Structure 1
C-alpha cells in the first residue's frame, strides 16, 4: 500500500501476470479542522487514519487472495471480530502482561522509578520477542519482503529516479520514517514517561497506560517526523538508529515481482494526484505499469 496526500493505492499480486490495483481518495480530517494540524495532535490523527487505511488495505488484499483461491469474501462481521481480537491481544500483550511481570520483579527493585522503568523494559523485550517469533513464519517473511519493497521504491522516488525495478533494486529496504520505527519510539517513550508516574493501584496503572497512549503516540510522531527530515544531523541520525536496526527484522530483500507491485501502487498514487502534491519524475518517465489486472 502507498499513500499520498489525498489518495492511497493497494496493489495485490494474485498470481503470475495477475495484479489487481485499488485506489481511493482520502479526506484528511486535518484539512477540515486546522486545529488537528498542530504538533502532537497531528500525530494522534495520523495514527488513527493509518489504522483505518491499513484495515481497508488488509480487507481488500485478503478478499483478492480468497477470490483467487475460489473462496468467498470476508464479511463485515468477520472483519470486526478480527479487529476486536487483535486489539484485545495488543492490550493483553503490551499493557497487561508487562504490568503483571512488573508486579513480580518489582518487589526486588529499589524505588518506584526502577519498578516503573522495569515495566517499560519488559515491554521493549516483548516487542522484540514478538517480532522475532513472527519473523520465523514463512508467510510473514513474504509480508516483510513486500515491506522492504515499499521502502526501496520510496527511496527511488525520493532520489528523483525513474520508477523501475532496476533502480529500486539498488536501494535500501530500511527507511527512517517507517511505521516500525514509530512503534519502537512509542514503546521506548512510554517506558520513560511511565517511569516518572507516582504510586498507583494496579487498576490505575492499567488505565493510565491506555489513556496516555495517544499522548505518547503524538510525541513519537513528532520525533520520527524530525528525524526523517534531518538525516544530515548526527543527533537525528542517532535517534533513527534503533528503528532502522529493528527494521532489519521487519523487512526482507524483495524479489523483482514484489518490487513491481510496490511500483504499481506508488505510480497509481502519483497518477491520481496528477503529481501536483509530489515531486515529478525526470521528464515524466514512461509509465511501466497501469491500473487494473496485468
Structure 2
C-alpha cells in the first residue's frame, strides 16, 4: 500500500523542523542511522544507504559514500573526533533528508546544491546556538533582574539557564511530534532502532522478527543531545565563574557578550566529551553506571520514536541491507 503524507506536500516549516532534528534522529557509528521522509538512512562505516517508500508503494534504495570530515588520523582520536563527527552527521543527515523528501513525493532525485547545503548547515547551527545558548542566557539575565536568581558568576544563574534549555528542548520535540508528517518520521525512527537491534543481535532481518525489539537505542542522537545539554550546564556553572575571575570586560553589555562567546567556544569540548560518553555507555550498556547514564536518553526517546508498522520496518530493513550489503 502506498503511503502519502496526511497533510499533502510538506511545507518549508516541516522540512526545516526535520533538518533541525538531524542529530536527534541519528544514531552514532558503528552501524547507525537516521529517519528521513518516508524512509530510513543507515550508515555502515564509509557507506550509507537510504531507503524511501515512494507514493506507488515501492521502495527506492540509494547507496553512496559517507561524507567524512575525520579522514585525517589526528581527527579520529578520542576527544578530537566528537565535534567533526557531529558536523559530518549534520551534513549527511541534511542531504539524506532533502533526497528523501524529493523521492517520497516523486519529485525526482535532485541533490541539494553545495551552496544551499552550506547555507542550510550554517542556518541550522545559528538557530541552535540562538535557541540553546543566547536565549537561555537572556532568560537567566531576566530572572536575575527580577531578583529570582544571581548574577552571571552564580550557580543559580546557570541552573536557570539549564532549566530553560531543557524546557525548550522538550517543548520543541513535543510540539513537532503533533504534526502528522513528523509523527511518521518518528515511526521510521523507531523502525530504524528495531532493525539495528535485530542486526546487532544476529537475528533474521524480517519485519516479524524485528518487531519484537525495542524502539529505544542507547546510541541514538537524542541521547547524544541530552549529554551535550547536561554537560554544557555543568561546565558553564564551573568554568564561566572561573573565566570571569581571570578576565571580565568593563561594561555589562561587553561582559555578557564575552560570556556568550565563551559558551559558543565551549560547544567544541562539550560535543567531544559527549561523543566519548555515548560511545562508552553503548559499549558497556549492561553496567550499572552506564545503564544509569543511558536511562535519561532512553526515556527521552519515548518522545522521538513511535511504534512502526511492518511496512516501515520493511523500509528500514532495505536500508540496512543496502548499507551492509547483505
**1:123 match: secondary structure:** helix
Q: Which residue of 1 aligns with 2:163?
A: 121
Shift of 1:93: 1.4
CA contact (8 A) 1:102 1:119 kept: yes
Q: 2:311 aligns with which of 257, 260, 271?
A: 257
Distance 1:75 1:10, change over 3 A: closer
Q: Counterparts of 1:115 and 1:261 in 2: how far apart (Å)?
A: 47
Q: Decide whether the 8 Å contact of 1:173 with 1:252 is kept in 2.
A: yes
Residues 1-294 of structure 1 aligned to structure 2 (within 5 Å): 1-26=41-66, 28-30=68-70, 32-66=71-105, 68=106, 73=110, 76=113, 79=117, 81-106=119-144, 107-110=147-150, 112-196=154-238, 197-198=240-241, 199=244, 201-271=255-325
Q: Which runs of 5+ in 1 are unaligned?
A: 272-286, 288-294
The unaligned stretches of length 5 or more in structure 2 are 1-40, 249-254
Q: Is the 8 A contact 1:14 1:20 kept in 2?
A: yes
Number of residue equivalences: 269
SS in structure 1 opposite 2:270?
helix
Question: Residues 27, 246 of structure 1: CA spacing in aligned structure 2 closer, same or farther, 3 A cutoff?
Answer: closer
Q: Which runs of 4+ in 1 moved over 6 A?
A: none
The 1:71/1:266 distance shift into structure 2, 3 A limit, reads closer
> Considering only aligned residues, what root-mean-square deviation do their CA atoms show, in Å?
2.0
CA contact 1:8–1:24 (8 Å) conserved in 2: yes
The alpha-carbon deviation at position 81 of structure 1 amounts to 4.8
Structure-1-length-normalised TM-score:
0.85
**TM-score normalized by structure 2?**
0.77
Q: Report which structure shows greater RCO (CA 8 Å, sep ≥6).
A: 1
Moved more, 205-214 or 246-255: 205-214
Equivalent residues of 1:62, 1:74 under 8 A apart? no
